[in-house]
Structure 1
Amino acid sequence: MLQEEYESRRVLPPHLRKPEAPEAPFSYEIRDATPADLPHIREIYNYYVTNSTVTFDEDTMSIKAWKAKYAHLRKIGMPFLVAASPSGQILGYALVTPWKQKAAYRFTVENSIYLGQASTGKGLGTALMRALVDASKAAGLKEMIAVIADQGAEASIAMHRAFGFKQVGSMGRVGFKFDRWLGTVLMQKSLK
């Protein structure tokens, strides 16, 4: 008897096999970010800086820069959320920043959502967006803007569309990263 035939006969038919244990559910808690979360947030963000065009940053952000950003957002009352696993691992984060510095723009923000690599494709981005929109409304914000790379961010565009964001513009060839020109898609949602 050939080895292959022997191996195929050793495998039990499906109705005689023990059922496989179900995959553990993907669970998390969405909460306000804390200073202790910043090293994990930095790691998530810097992955995208060095490996993708979803951010136009070309230099990784330091902990010092993240601490300054966190302090500024807290001072001006902007939402900054994380999704944490039951063990405390940071799976992703979401925040808003002022759209522009001029006072008349004070009710308009730009959103950012980034997920750890093991957390993509599981609905976490949607959960973070829902929480971010709710937190932004609670903070009295009125308009949310998304500036999304026009290449490699199709999932982000689709998610924003599902949340009622409308495309309000696009800009071509405004960024140059990884030896190629990139544009942006501008989307907007009124927070009512």
Structure 2
Amino acid sequence: MNNEITFTEDTLAADPTVSFFSAPLPQHIQEEVKLAQEKQQRRKMAQKASEQVAEAIKAQTDLETAAATQMAMRQVDEELAEATQDELPRKRYERKITVGVDAMPIRNGVRHPRPGTKAYVFWKLYTELSKEQRSPVAFGDARPHIDNLGMNLNSARLEYAEWRKFFGVSGRVYTKEQIARRAAYAEGK
């Protein structure tokens, strides 16, 4: 049986004066007890400091996150406000056009004009002249008809460009006169 008594840091830290023999502890043991107590205090202080640092970091992160979230929410609110101001009238306008009889086809990014509008008159003229010719009509060939209708020439040119875009007419479209001149020139060579 071993008669030696060992002291652990926990038993000594709990009460350094405790002895199994009511006699005072030797000097070297008292120093060990003091060192153990100081070591334990340093551990507790280090643990408290690390907890405080962790709490500060968490608080800082929470503040940054809250600030970033607040800024993002403000930006989203501003964008929504702008979008609703811009889109509400547009939605109402689109709804009027696309509902029921007024719904007109869209091709190549151009909407066909509704019947009864000035644009529809121009488009109908260009379409009829093209059917007669069996090829896209040139603006020069349609101009005498536009003059007879008494319509604005600038509006007619604009609608001609839209009509071409709608039907996918690209490149140069020659008038009947230009085609006849080219044919005569080719024969003369």
TM-score tier by shorter-chain length is: under 0.3
Larger CA Rg, structure 1 vs 2 = 2
Give the structure with the larger helix fraction: 2
TM-score (norm 2): 0.22
Give the structure with the larger strand fraction: 1
Which structure has more relative contact order (CA 8 Å, sep 6+)? It is: 1
TM-score (norm 1): 0.22
